[in-house]
C-alpha cells in the first residue's frame, strides 16, 4: 500500500499545473464545438454555455486525455472525444438538477440551468448537449471511421441503459423510498457514476490503439476510480461547504439517501476509499507503459476537496 509520503510526493508533481493546462485545452475545444450564443435558438445556446462554462473539474475529459497519452496518442487526436464526454456529463448534471429529479438550485457555484433559464430550456439544453456529443465524434476527421464507431458505441453504452448512467440514475431514484444493501448501492454507483469514467479511460486508450489486454486493464483501473469518485463524493456531501463544492451539501442526509457514509459510517467509508484507491493503483502494474499520471489522478480523487 502507498505510504502517505509517497502519496504526497506524487501529488506534489505539479498536479495543479497539469490539470489547469488540460482544462484550458478542453475549454478552448468546447468553445469551438458548442453553438455560439448569437445563433438561434439563442436561449438554448445560452443555457448550454451557461452550464458547460459554469466551472467543473473536467475530470472525465482529463482522464481521457491522460489515458490516451499514456498509450501514445496526441492531445489533438483525443480532444474532440474528450469534449464529448464533458458534454454528456454536463447534460446529466443539468437533467439531474431538474425539479423532477434532484431538484437543486446550485451547481458549479451558480444557479442551476432551470433556475437561470427555465425548465423547458434546461431540458432542451441537456438534450442538445447529448446529441452534440455523438455528432462531434462522428464528424471528427482526425480519427478513422472505424475508431469513431467504436467510440460512439462505448459512449452510448456508458451513458445509456441497461449498462450505463441512465440505468444508474433510474435505479437510484427508485431506491430512494426504501432501504438499500451495500451491494446494491455499489451496483447503482457503478452504473450512475463509474460507467462514464470507465468509458472515458477506455476511449482514450482506443484512440491510441491500445491492445485488448491494455484496454481491459485500463477499464478495471477506471472502474475502481469511478467507485472511489463516488465514495469521496458522498463524504464531501457531509464534510464540505457549498462554497467549496459549488453545489448544495447535505442533500443526501436530508433525503435519507443510502450513501457510503450512511451505510458504513464515515470512518469505514474513508477506509473503503483508501482500499479502492490502492486497488486502482495495483491494476496499473499490469500496464507496461508510463502510468505515473494515472496514479496521480487516483491520488487526486482520493484527496479531492471539491
Q: Which residue number, 107 or 148, has a Cβ lying nearer to ligand GRG? A: 107
Residue position matching grid coordinates 491492445: 211
Q: How far is the CB of 193 from ligand GRG (least distance, A)?
A: 4
Q: How far is the CB of 6 from ligand GRG (least distance, A)?
A: 25
96 binds ligand GRG (CB under 6 A): yes
Q: How far is the CB of 189 from ligand GRG (least distance, A)?
A: 8
Residue of 10, 95, 114, 147 interacting with ligand GRG (CB under 6 A):
95
* Cell numbers linked to 78: 483525443
Which residues partner with 107 through β-bridges?
A: 110
Nearest in space to 245 (alpha carbons), one of 159, 304, 185, 182: 304
Q: How far is the CB of 98 from ligand GRG (least distance, A)?
A: 8
Q: How many angstroms separate the CA atoms of 281 and 205, rounded? A: 17
Q: How far is the CB of 51 from ligand GRG (least distance, A)?
A: 10
| The three-state (H, E, C) secondary structure of 41-98, written as one string | CHHHHHHHHHHHCCCCCCHHHHHHHHHHHHCCCCHHHHHHHHHHHHHHHHHHHHHHCC
109 with 235: CB under 8 angstroms?
Answer: no
166 binds ligand GRG (CB under 6 A): yes
Scanning residues 218 to 237, which ones bind ligand GRG (CB under 6 A)?
A: 230, 233
193 binds ligand GRG (CB under 6 A): yes
**Footprint of ligand GRG (CB under 6 A):** 56-57, 59, 89, 92-93, 95-96, 108, 165-166, 169, 192-193, 230, 233
Amino acid at each position: 500500500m502507498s505510504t502517505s509520503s509517497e502519496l504526497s510526493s506524487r501529488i506534489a508533481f505539479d498536479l495543479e499545473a497539469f490539470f489547469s493546462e488540460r482544462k484550458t485545452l478542453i475549454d478552448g475545444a468546447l468553445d469551438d464545438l458548442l453553438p455560439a450564443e448569437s445563433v438561434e435558438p439563442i436561449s438554448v445556446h445560452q443555457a448550454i454555455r451557461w452550464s458547460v462554462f459554469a466551472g467543473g473539474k473536467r475530470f472525465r475529459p482529463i482522464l481521457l486525455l491522460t489515458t490516451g497519452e499514456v498509450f501514445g496518442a496526441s492531445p489533438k487526436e483525443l480532444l474532440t472525444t474528450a469534449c464529448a464526454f464533458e458534454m454528456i456529463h454536463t447534460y446529466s448534471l443539468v437533467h439531474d438538477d431538474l425539479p423532477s429529479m434532484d431538484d437543486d438550485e446550485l451547481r458549479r457555484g451558480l444557479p442551476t440551468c432551470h433556475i437561470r433559464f427555465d425548465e423547458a430550456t434546461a431540458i432542451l439544453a441537456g438534450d442538445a448537449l447529448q446529441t452534440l456529443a455523438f455528432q462531434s465524434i462522428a464528424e471528427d476527421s482526425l480519427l478513422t471511421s472505424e475508431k469513431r464507431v467504436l467510440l460512439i458505441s462505448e459512449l452510448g453504452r456508458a451513458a445509456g441503459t441497461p449498462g450505463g448512467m441512465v440505468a444508474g440514475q433510474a435505479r437510484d431514484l427508485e431506491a430512494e423510498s426504501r432501504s438499500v444493501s451495500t451491494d446494491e448501492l455499489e451496483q447503482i454507483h457503478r452504473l450512475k457514476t463509474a460507467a462514464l469514467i470507465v468509458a472515458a479511460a477506455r476511449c482514450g486508450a482506443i484512440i491510441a490503439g491500445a491492445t485488448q489486454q491494455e484496454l481491459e486493464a485500463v477499464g478495471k483501473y477506471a472502474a475502481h476510480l469511478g467507485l472511489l469518485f463516488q465514495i469521496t463524493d458522498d463524504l464531501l456531501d457531509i464534510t464540505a461547504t457549498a462554497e467549496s463544492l459549488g453545489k448544495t451539501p447535505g442533500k443526501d442526509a436530508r433525503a435519507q439517501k443510502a450513501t457510503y457514509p450512511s451505510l458504513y459510517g464515515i470512518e469505514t467509508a474513508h477506509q473503503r476509499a483508501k482500499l479502492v484507491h490502492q486497488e486502482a493503483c495495483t491494476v496499473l502494474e499490469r500496464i507496461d507503459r508510463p502510468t505515473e499520471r494515472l496514479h496521480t489522478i487516483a491520488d487526486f480523487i482520493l484527496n479531492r476537496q471539491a
